[in-house]
Structure 1
Amino acid sequence: MPKRGGKHAEMGREMRAECKRAKVEAACSPSVMSFESPDSLFGTLISPIKQEVFFREYWEQKPLLVQRNDPLLAAYYQSLFQLSDLKELCSQGLYYGRDINICRCVNGKKKVLNKEGKVNYMQLKKDFDQKKATIQFHQPQRFKEELWKIQEKLECYFGSLVGSNVYITPRGSQGLPPHYDDVEPGDLLYFPRGTIHQADTPLGVSYSTHVTISTYQNNSWGDFLLDTIPGLVFDTAKEVVELRTSIPRQLLMQVDIADSTKNLSSLLRRLADRLENTRELRSSDMKKDFIMNRLPPCLGCDSAPLTPGGKLPKIDSKIRLQFRDHAVITVEPDHENSDDIRREMVYVYHSLKNRRESHMMGTDEDTASEEGTAQQIHGLRFPLSYLDALKQIWSSSTVHVKELNLISDAEKENLALSLWTECLIEVI
């Protein structure tokens, strides 16, 4: 799977379609974000546009500008990140390129004005004031708790990584080409993939700040097929003899394989037939990539690591799953068995111990070793016979340990205790 980087690429081909402006009365606007659930958070972000309308009419189709004349909402948006925040953050050790880019739009092209090494705030402010350079700050959710709260909920809502960048542009300047909309504090812009955009700060305003939040990178049907088809082929080949038949002699040496495409098409139809009749389609790499790199839960913005609490689960205990949106179940070959014939195991991966500080910052080996930001995947490993019991826990609001679909009481208690130790379940 491709690794996620902190610096999102500038978007696709130029598009001149005007945003449809949804003008909203102040009385309809929420005053604050609702963090009760991922669904409620997304609802307040796009309010008063209904979620079903957004996904039916705008999602991956056309831009949307939601204008809201709510001073409380505007003040909340402005508090997410300000130029003054950079002074404190620079003292913590920010680096050009990794954390901050200094750039200007010159003759329609982006010109990067970065220095080397650590960012000095006085030099940064000088470039901002005198060179009229835009400050691009990568992944501010690593430092700003309110953005952590927002993006963690959005990752739960979309089931995909959510990154962000902050752009601070001085008056009479722009940092990135080539299209802009006149957006006011409290407004929200949605762009489908491929929409080119920019921010321009007009004269009369000291500077402008906007936050871009993006998701669904490398999360298309094509990406999903690349992840799941190998497992489907592997499983189908156990039963379909044709998939285990040798390819034609010297096929790999031929330039034109037209004669073999008929056989290949037939095999692909067999795979499609099997897919229609199966309830299981394994996605392990995409699941692991998402879980390993996403934000940990934001629990009152307390960054202390989670520890098990409450009563130990026993055979008569009633349990329920915690952090459902932060854990996935996969079936994979045993990672710890190097034999040619590898038995399948069930893996439960979770993001409860992930490091917020390295979220969406890629896997640069030099940076990881220097700053200690390398992510690792956390989870548990069980025999394949535990799969049905795990599905019970994941699909039920509550379940009694003694009712888990396992043979012995010892296995039932072992499963519950293992999940409790990882803070994935609680006893109620």
Structure 2
Amino acid sequence: MIDELLRHNVVMYGKHVDVTSYTNGVRETLNPEGRAHPHVIWDYYSNGCSIRLLNPQYFIPSLHMLLATLQEYFGCLVGANAYLTPPNSQGFAPHYDDIEAFVYQVEGKKHWKVYKPRSVKERLPRYSSPNFSEEEVGTPVLDVILSPGDVLYFPRGFIHHAKTLPGEHSLHITISTYQKSSWCDLLEKVLPLSLKKACEMDVDFRKGLPIGYLQNAGFAHSKAFLRKELIQGLRTFVSKLEQYIDVDSAVDQMGIQFMHDSLPPVFTEDELKCSVYNGGLVMKENGTLENYVQPNFNTKIRLLRAYLCRFVQEDMKLENGAVERQMRLYYNVDNSREYHGEDLQFLLIPPDMIASVHFLICAYPSFVTVNDLPCKTNEEKVLYILMTFNHHLIFIVPT
């Protein structure tokens, strides 16, 4: 499959594929410039280098389906890399990652060693580590040979490295999730929003700092008594900040980021037939159009997936400096299978359709009828159905 992929697609070094080696304790990436041609890739491989496919789901539909399914469960980005390693070789130095990792052994065998985090600071890290030497990582907590069909899981912060056996290559896929999905990441959204709200609502947050505060604290300017007063003042403000916490807006920001990061969903053949992809108007050979979508009030509808869209209220600054409150429905159905291959997509929702958007999101996974939509008029119901259908957010069950 990798050979076919290289021959029939434009595969670029650094974007789709890496050539790596780990020899005598030295880890190297050996990528040439430009397009990866199969002869060059296999020449590297024959000389003991490992081949890493980046975003292999871009080329392999079945892997895209697996990742999209896991993404729907976890509610955060799920990615993948594939690793092809020649016999008696190692492609990477011991290291830990900032993701939860599921290693799926596909072909051959590989000898894995996994080590617990070396300190509290390295537990559940937010960033991946540099390369370690084997002397730095201690004694493994898991020493195992993976065979085809085996799955190995290790959390963020667990150091790991792997080597193939003499005479046997290895192909495995690493599924990754929970990158930048910690409480800390949510707090990074919550605190600026809460502080902005506190500054708007509470005059104490806008008062000037005390004269001389620069001389009360800092690396070379601490005065114990005055510094204590400054710390107490900050603690008072942090305590007051609690009442201004805006959880909903912070979670919406995480949701918008997820809409941009995530893979497009994968749909069944039956779902596609009822969606704008394979349903709706069809151009026939004689130039006539068939299959008009004409929902009636008993037509059943449903969002295609739970994590298909994110409905948020945002204050947008216009060119003239004015602020306009907009209701935006962000969605991921038009995302690329390549990470951030497309711009973030959204629909502006008019005020008379806000209640219907809420209704459909909250109703998932149940079906509702067009007549159930809380629109004021029948015309609004039809317009809403056509808008969401045309952007592949819902499917319409034929009656």
TM over 0.5: yes
1:273 aligns with: 243
Aligned length: 324
Take 2:164 and 2:152, find their aligned partners in 1: how far apart are those partners? Answer: 16
* Residues 332-388 of structure 1: CA deviation (Å, up to 9, x unaligned): 1136x34544232221111111122x2x3x6xxxxxxxxxxx411222112467544
Q: Kindly indicate whether the alpha-carbon contact (under 8 Å) linking 2:186 and 2:250 is maintained by their aligned counterparts in 1.
A: no
2:251 aligns with: 283
1:375 aligns with: 342
Take 1:255 and 1:137, find their aligned partners in 2: how far apart are those partners? Answer: 54
- Pick which of 278-287 and 153-162 moved more: 278-287
TM-score, normalised to structure 2, is 0.71
Structure 1 113/424 Cα, relative in aligned 2: closer, same or farther at 3 Å? closer
The CA deviation at 1:164 is 1.1
The CA deviation at 1:255 is 7.4
Q: Kindly indicate whether the alpha-carbon contact (under 8 Å) linking 2:45 and 2:51 is maintained by their aligned counterparts in 1.
A: yes
Q: Kindly indicate whether the alpha-carbon contact (under 8 Å) linking 1:307 and 1:423 is maintained by their aligned counterparts in 2.
A: no
Structure 1 227/348 Cα, relative in aligned 2: closer, same or farther at 3 Å? same
The CA deviation at 1:305 is 8.3
Equivalent residue letter for 1:351: N
Structure 1 137/250 Cα, relative in aligned 2: closer, same or farther at 3 Å? farther
**Between structures 1 and 2, the one with greater strand share:** 2
Q: Kindly indicate whether the alpha-carbon contact (under 8 Å) linking 1:283 and 1:330 is maintained by their aligned counterparts in 2.
A: no
2:277 aligns with: 306
The CA deviation at 1:411 is 4.4
Structure 1 98/280 Cα, relative in aligned 2: closer, same or farther at 3 Å? closer
1:420 aligns with: 389
Question: Given the alignment, which residue of 35, 44, 53 partners 1:137?
Answer: 53
Q: Kindly indicate whether the alpha-carbon contact (under 8 Å) linking 1:327 and 1:348 is maintained by their aligned counterparts in 2.
A: yes
Structure 1 283/387 Cα, relative in aligned 2: closer, same or farther at 3 Å? farther
1:183 aligns with 2:146: yes
Q: Give the alignment's Cα RMSD to 1 decimal.
A: 3.1
The CA deviation at 1:209 is 0.8
Take 2:234 and 2:351, find their aligned partners in 1: how far apart are those partners? Answer: 32
By relative contact order (CA 8 Å, sep 6+), the higher-ranking structure is 1
What SS is found at the alignment partner of 1:190? strand
Equivalent residue letter for 2:356: A
1:234 aligns with: 196
1:203 aligns with: 166
Q: What percentage of residue pairs aligned between the two structures are identical?
A: 27
Take 1:171 and 1:282, find their aligned partners in 2: how far apart are those partners? Answer: 48
What SS is found at the alignment partner of 1:333? strand
2:307 aligns with: 325
Take 1:271 and 1:384, find their aligned partners in 2: how far apart are those partners? Answer: 32
Q: Kindly indicate whether the alpha-carbon contact (under 8 Å) linking 1:231 and 1:282 is maintained by their aligned counterparts in 2.
A: yes
Structure 1 280/92 Cα, relative in aligned 2: closer, same or farther at 3 Å? closer
Take 1:103 and 1:316, find their aligned partners in 2: how far apart are those partners? Answer: 59
2:288 aligns with: none
The CA deviation at 1:163 is 1.4
1:351 aligns with 2:332: yes
Asked which structure has the greater CA Rg, the reply is 2
Q: Kindly indicate whether the alpha-carbon contact (under 8 Å) linking 1:98 and 1:138 is maintained by their aligned counterparts in 2.
A: yes
1:116 aligns with: 33
Equivalent residue letter for 2:243: D
The CA deviation at 1:88 is 3.7
Structure 1 94/274 Cα, relative in aligned 2: closer, same or farther at 3 Å? same
2:323 aligns with: 342
1:169 aligns with 2:85: yes
1:92 aligns with: 9
Question: Given the alignment, which residue of 346, 352, 356 partners 1:389?
Answer: 356
| Structure 1, gaps ≥5 residues long | 1-83, 363-373
What SS is found at the alignment partner of 2:335? coil
Equivalent residue letter for 2:217: D
Q: Kindly indicate whether the alpha-carbon contact (under 8 Å) linking 1:312 and 1:420 is maintained by their aligned counterparts in 2.
A: no
What SS is found at the alignment partner of 2:146? coil
Question: Given the alignment, which residue of 158, 162, 166 partners 2:74?
Answer: 158
Structure 1 128/400 Cα, relative in aligned 2: closer, same or farther at 3 Å? closer
Structure 1 138/427 Cα, relative in aligned 2: closer, same or farther at 3 Å? closer
TM-score, normalised to structure 1, is 0.66
Structure 1 91/314 Cα, relative in aligned 2: closer, same or farther at 3 Å? closer
Equivalent residue letter for 1:195: F
Structure 1 252/184 Cα, relative in aligned 2: closer, same or farther at 3 Å? farther
Structure 1 193/139 Cα, relative in aligned 2: closer, same or farther at 3 Å? same
Equivalent residue letter for 1:93: V
1:256 aligns with: 217
Equivalent residue letter for 1:326: L
Equivalent residue letter for 2:277: L
What SS is found at the alignment partner of 2:264? coil
